[in-house]
Amino acid sequence: MNTFLQKPTSYRKPKTRSWFKEFIAQWDLQILVIPAMIYIIVFNYIPMWGVMFAFQDYDIFKGFFNSDWVGLKHFHVLFNSPDFLLIMGNTLTISFLKLLILFPAPIILALILNEVRNERFKRIVQTITYLPHFISWVIVAGFVTSMLAVDNGSLNLLLKSLGLIKEPIAWLSIPEYFRTILIGAGQWKEIGFSSIVYLAAISGIDTGQYEAAEVDGASKLKQIFAITLPNIAPIIGIFLILAIGNLLNAGFEDILVLTNNGANAILRDTSEVIDTYVYKQGLGGMRYSYATCVGLFKSAINIILLCSANFVVKRLGNDSLW
Amino acid sequence: MKISKGEKVVKVIIYTSLTILAFVTLYPFWNTLVISFNDGLNTTLGGITFWPREFTTQNYRAVLNDIMFIKALTVTIGRTVIGTFLAMFFTSIYAYGLSKKYLKGKKIYMIISIITMYFSGGLIPLYLLVRSLGMIDSYAALVVPSLVGVYNMIILRTFFMGIPEEIEESAKLDGCNHIRTFFSIILPVSGPAIATISLFTAVYFWNEWFNAGIYINSAAKLPIQNYLMNVMNSSNYAEQMAKLTGGIGKFSVTTVTSRSLQAATIMVATLPIVMVYPFVQKYFVKGVLVGSVKG
């Protein structure tokens, strides 16, 4: 069962007769695997070669082999572009905000849910909060637009009836509010579903520890900090590593749908991140090489971040990814 | 009662905050539903929250009368059914093959697969590949780019590895090869696992809009989420539709506004998922747990 986790032995690629013979002998098994292999090579590995586009002036009519090679030109263009600082700034800011707000929330929700004794109430809340995860971002954007609308938007109605505002505000047209809206929507959509893993981890904690703590007179809160959190620290650690490794993936689908598929120019200054930039430059502006270069830059940083985060966590003595 | 005052307060806070959370989660669904059933012009007067003031089915009739909507719905249904079936087919036989220890080349297969979970070529190279395969603006582009998911494969593989060998032994003795064994023995036994992954896959296809958006050019081949985006983003579109459908039907003057139309479209686009959800929720939850533990 664990053979694939071990380092590959010096498994010489076999032209020995018996390996080949056995391979043919189990054709009925191989044939189950081969279609998927071909698929993966075509749709996953061939595009990997596509990073070469970043070093060319890719011309779609000339194709890969006939386009000019320009080395690091696009990287120069990227780093000197006035957009670069804006995009990096937005990407990092939004990513940090998401990490700060969206990461702990499901954990807190799991902790709270764990304290609920009434099973029925618990299950109802869970069912309800898991639901938004399964609807598309397009729908979520639809809800957000509807709630924040100037024309019968519930938020404006609520604020007006509370006397907090006099006139409805066009929330989605104000760049300063965009990030809040983005994060709020993301929270609404994912907090429930993300809490599942944490809740499962918490319910797996040996109750003996809690009983001992009760005997010692520890309050509920103290128990949470002294027992629950340390016990689920490994899981939190893993997810944290993944989150940091994803730091430059500040968002894409969510930002696109909330900015009219990227067309909303007003919001650009606070919403444009690396991925949306790649999309607009590459597919919109047809600057294929440039966009590939930006994407490659991002992937490289992501790998560095992932390895660093993994390294740090390992050093701290906790479980890590590898 | 042994509960201290402090604990009682905490209890109240817990139940209150969870109730608020549940309410906030459900409210947008409900409110949009209400708006969709409310007369468009009436809605512009404001104040519609928990119940329609002027009930009407006009908005829905406008949506259902739009030929583009019917087309989009057909595309999405076709995509979901065919896509889920094909994806499950290729992914599950793949997972089964990889679950056999004696598979020649297993290590290589696994390494090749796992690497793709961490590295990818990026958006542009993939797009250019699809383009060079001639799939732009074809129905194939709606399905093929998502056919094999390594993540799902691993979940299924773990499941298959847990099936006792004895079950297959009897089939082998009868002379079945792996292909027949898979279809006649393994599949029937794997109901829950297959069901769970199928559900996840189906939800994915139903909701997927980005790939469809970049690979499809003709409006007639767009799936329903993209249709919804059009309705939402160009209020032109919505207004035109509102005017068009106002001429047909009983009402000589249309009171469908782009807002009420959008609400109805949103509801229709999300209805299948919301309706199916309560029944399959336990599958989803289980799938997540298995997936994250193994992942």
- For the cut 80, the answer to whether the pLDDT of residue A181 exceeds it is yes
SS3 B182: helix
State whether A220 and B7 contact (CB < 8 Å): yes
Query: Which residues in chain A are closer than 8 Å to B97, comparing Cβ atoms?
Result: 29-30, 32-33
Single out the residue of A279, A137, A281 nearest to residue B209, CA to CA.
A137
Tens of pLDDT, residue by residue over B217-247, are 888 899 999 999 888 877 666 666 666 655 4
Chain A: residue whose CA lies nearest to B105: A23
Q: How far apart, in whole angstroms, are the C-alpha atoms of residue A153 and residue A158?
A: 9
Tell me how many residue pairs between chain A and chain B have CB atoms under 8 A apart: 263
* Ramachandran region, residue B178 (left: φ > 0; alpha: ψ -120 to 50; beta: rest): alpha
State whether A3 and B111 contact (CB < 8 Å): no
Choose among A11, A128, A193: nearest Cβ to B22: A128
Query: Which residues in chain B are closer than 8 Å to A288, comparing Cβ atoms?
Result: 124, 128
State whether A146 and B266 contact (CB < 8 Å): yes
In a domain, A307, yes or no: yes
Mean pLDDT of all residues in A87-97: 91
State whether A138 and B232 contact (CB < 8 Å): yes
Single out the residue of B122, B242, B136, B168 nearest to residue A293, CA to CA.
B122
Choose among A32, A36, A196: nearest Cβ to B288: A196
Tokens of B130: 């699809």
In a domain, A7, yes or no: no
Residues A101, A45: one domain? no
Name the residue range of residue A61's domain: 17-69
In a domain, A219, yes or no: yes
In a domain, B204, yes or no: yes
3-state per-residue secondary structure call for chain A: CCCCCCCCCCCCCCCCHHHHHHHHHCHHHHHHHHHHHHHHHHHHHHHHHHHHHHHEECCCCCCCCCCEECCCHHHHHHHHCHHHHHHHHHHHHHHHHHHHHHCHHHHHHHHHHHCCCCHHHHHHHHHHHHHHHHCCHHHHHHHHHHHCCCCCCHHHHHHHHCCCCCCCCCHHHCHHHHHHHHHHHHHHHHHHHHHHHHHHHHHCCCHHHHHHHHHCCCCHHHHHHHHHHHHHHHHHHHHHHHHHHCCCCCCCHHHHHHCCCCCCCCCHHHHCCHHHHHHHHHHHCCCHHHHHHHHHHHHHHHHHHHHHHHHHHHHCCCCCCC
Q: How far apart, in whole angstroms, are the C-alpha atoms of residue A249 and residue A275?
A: 7
In a domain, B9, yes or no: no
Tens of pLDDT, residue by residue over B150-177, are 888 988 998 888 888 888 888 888 888 8
Query: Which residues in chain B are closer than 8 Å to A125, comparing Cβ atoms?
Result: 18-19, 21-22
Predicted confidence at residue B77, as pLDDT, reads: 94
CB neighbours of residue B157 within 10 Å: 23
Residues A54, A31: one domain? yes
* A159: CB partners within 8 A, 6+ apart: A165, A169
SS3 B180: helix
Instruction: Give the model's confidence band at A61: pLDDT under 50 very low, under 70 low, under 90 confident, else very high.
Output: confident
What φ, ψ does residue A316 adopt, rounded to 5°?
A: -75, 0
In a domain, B20, yes or no: no
Predicted confidence at residue B251, as pLDDT, reads: 47
The A residues from 242 to 301 touching B (CB cutoff 8 Å) are 253, 256-257, 260-261, 263, 275, 278-279, 282-283, 288, 291-292, 295-296, 299
In a domain, A5, yes or no: no
Residues A43, A187: one domain? no
Question: How many Å lie between the alpha carbon of B249 and the closest alpha carbon of chain A?
Answer: 26
State whether A49 and B274 contact (CB < 8 Å): no
In a domain, A115, yes or no: yes
Residues A308, A222: one domain? yes
The residue count for chain B:
295
In a domain, B27, yes or no: no
Residues A81, A61: one domain? no
Residues A180, A36: one domain? no
Residues A101, A166: one domain? yes
DSSP state of B66: -
What is the residue whose two structure tokens read 């590295």? B119
Q: What is the CA radius of gyration of chain A?
A: 25
In a domain, B240, yes or no: yes
CB neighbours of residue A100 within 10 Å: 11
The A residues from 139 to 158 touching B (CB cutoff 8 Å) are 139, 141-143, 145-147, 149, 151-152, 154, 157
Predicted confidence at residue B249, as pLDDT, reads: 47
Residues A304, A174: one domain? yes
A278 or B289: which leads in pLDDT: A278
Question: How many Å lie between the alpha carbon of A32 and the closest alpha carbon of chain B?
Answer: 5
Mean pLDDT of all residues in A106-131: 92
Number of structural domains chain B divides into: 1
Q: How far apart, in whole angstroms, are the C-alpha atoms of residue B190 and residue B130?
A: 33
State whether A39 and B90 contact (CB < 8 Å): yes
Tokens of A143: 């809800």
Predicted confidence at residue A302, as pLDDT, reads: 83
Tens of pLDDT, residue by residue over A63-77, are 778 788 888 888 888
Residue type, A278: V
- For the cut 80, the answer to whether the pLDDT of residue B83 exceeds it is yes
DSSP state of B45: T
Write down the mean pLDDT value for chain B. 85
Choose among A30, A47, A256: nearest Cβ to B129: A47
Tens of pLDDT, residue by residue over A144-161, are 998 998 888 889 888 888
- Which of A136, A193, A278 is most worth mutating to test chain B (most B CB atoms within 10 A of its CB)? A136
DSSP state of B291: H
Instruction: Give the model's confidence band at A179: pLDDT under 50 very low, under 70 low, under 90 confident, else very high.
Output: very high
In a domain, B205, yes or no: yes
Cβ–Cβ < 8 Å for B69, B63: yes
Long-range contacts of B235-240 (CB under 8 A, 24+ apart): B238/B262
In a domain, B12, yes or no: no
CB neighbours of residue B254 within 10 Å: 19
Residues A43, A131: one domain? no
> Helices B235-247 & B58-65, crossing angle to 10 degrees?
100
A51 or B28: which leads in pLDDT: B28
SS3 B133: coil
Single out the residue of B209, B193, B206 nearest to residue B275, CA to CA.
B206
Name the residue range of residue B114's domain: 59-294
Cα B80 to its chain centre, rounded Å, is 8
Q: Which CATH number is A176's domain given?
A: 1.10.3720.10
Query: Which residues in chain B are closer than 8 Å to A295, comparing Cβ atoms?
Result: 122-124
Predicted confidence at residue A41, as pLDDT, reads: 92
In a domain, A12, yes or no: no
State whether A279 and B15 contact (CB < 8 Å): no
Choose among A47, A136, A256: nearest Cβ to B125: A47
In a domain, A8, yes or no: no
Question: How many Å lie between the alpha carbon of B153 and the closest alpha carbon of chain A?
Answer: 10
Least confident span in A50-64, A126-140, A165-179, B219-233:
A50-64
Single out the residue of B225, B201, B27 nearest to residue A188, CA to CA.
B27
Predicted confidence at residue A301, as pLDDT, reads: 86
Chain A: residue whose CA lies nearest to B214: A283
Tens of pLDDT, residue by residue over A217-242, are 888 788 888 888 888 888 888 888 87
Q: What is the CA radius of gyration of chain B?
A: 25
What is the residue whose two structure tokens read 């509010």? A177
State whether B225 and A282 contact (CB < 8 Å): no
Mean pLDDT of all residues in A82-92: 90
Single out the residue of B118, B126, B214 nearest to residue A299, CA to CA.
B118
Single out the residue of B46, B6, B106 nearest to residue A23, CA to CA.
B106
pTM: 0.85
Residues A44, A174: one domain? no
In a domain, B95, yes or no: yes
Mean pLDDT of all residues in A17-24: 82
What is the residue whose two structure tokens read 């089964």? B96
Mean pLDDT of all residues in A46-69: 83
In a domain, A280, yes or no: yes
Instruction: Give the model's confidence band at A249: pLDDT under 50 very low, under 70 low, under 90 confident, else very high.
Output: confident
What is the residue whose two structure tokens read 């104000």? A174
DSSP state of B162: T
Question: How many Å lie between the alpha carbon of A9 and the closest alpha carbon of chain B?
Answer: 10
Tens of pLDDT, residue by residue over A186-214, are 999 999 999 998 998 888 888 888 888 88
Q: How far apart, in whole angstroms, are the C-alpha atoms of residue A296 and residue A303?
A: 11
Residues A239, A303: one domain? yes
Predicted confidence at residue B250, as pLDDT, reads: 47
Question: Which is it for strands A56-57 and A68-69: parallel, antiparallel or unpaired?
Answer: antiparallel
State whether A23 and B228 contact (CB < 8 Å): no
Percent pLDDT > 90 in chain B is: 33
The A residues from 41 to 80 touching B (CB cutoff 8 Å) are 41-51, 53, 60
Number of structural domains chain A divides into: 2
Q: Which CATH number is B220's domain given?
A: 1.10.3720.10
Cβ–Cβ < 8 Å for A202, A227: no
Instruction: Give the model's confidence band at A306: pLDDT under 50 very low, under 70 low, under 90 confident, else very high.
Output: confident
Residues A110, A159: one domain? yes
> Any chain B CB within 8 A of the CB of A229?
no
Predicted confidence at residue A11, as pLDDT, reads: 60
Predicted-complex ipTM score: 0.85
Least confident span in A168-182, A260-274, B62-76, B280-294:
B280-294
Choose among B105, B150, B292: nearest Cβ to A197: B292
DSSP string, B225-271: HHHHHHHHH-HHHHHHHHHHHHHSSS-SS----HHHHHHHHHHHHHH
SS3 B55: strand
Tens of pLDDT, residue by residue over B246-278, are 544 444 456 778 888 889 999 999 888 888 888
> Any chain B CB within 8 A of the CB of A313?
no
Query: Which residues in chain A are closer than 8 Å to B144, comparing Cβ atoms?
Result: 43
